Amino acid sequence: MGSWFDSRRCNNYKINKMGEFFRKISKSDIRNILAVIAVVGAFIVLYMLIVTPIPETNKDTVNLALGFVLGGLVGGVSGFYFGASKTETKEDNSEKH
């Protein structure tokens, strides 16, 4: 019975620590983490395409599908971080005031 109590107390401690962690991070931190995961994942998939042999009958389909998904994903991430819309919005607001 003592070990059950100790493990429960340990689990409660871990849950409290995770709660503190999630309260400290902001929405921009989550966006940054997801963007890094998306770009790193795209490079891992690209590496796997180079290393893993694909059957000749499926090669065009796999390349088209992965190119569409990964191109949109990486394009969206780079458009969000390096797009001109953020700087234009700041300049527009400063000119109006």
Q: Say if 86 falls within a structural domain.
A: yes
Q: Please report, rounded to a whole number, the percentage of residues in the chain having pLDDT higher than 90.
A: 0
Supply φ then ψ for residue 52, to 5 degrees: -85, 130
Q: Say if 10 falls within a structural domain.
A: no
Domain extent at residue 38? 26-96
| DSSP-derived 3-state class of residue 74 | helix
Residue 96 scores a pLDDT above 60:
no
**Which pLDDT does position 54 carry in this prediction?**
85
Q: Say if 14 falls within a structural domain.
A: no
Residue 76 neighbours by CB distance under 10 Å: 13
Question: Per residue in 43-85, pLDDT tens?
Answer: 888 888 889 888 899 889 888 888 888 888 888 888 888 776 6
* Count of domains forming the chain: 1
Q: Say if 45 falls within a structural domain.
A: yes
Q: Say if 83 falls within a structural domain.
A: yes
C-alpha distance from residue 75 to each of 17, 39, 45, 69 (Å): 35, 10, 16, 10
Residue 54 in contact with residue 62, Cβ under 8 Å? yes
Q: Say if 7 falls within a structural domain.
A: no
Q: Say if 16 falls within a structural domain.
A: no
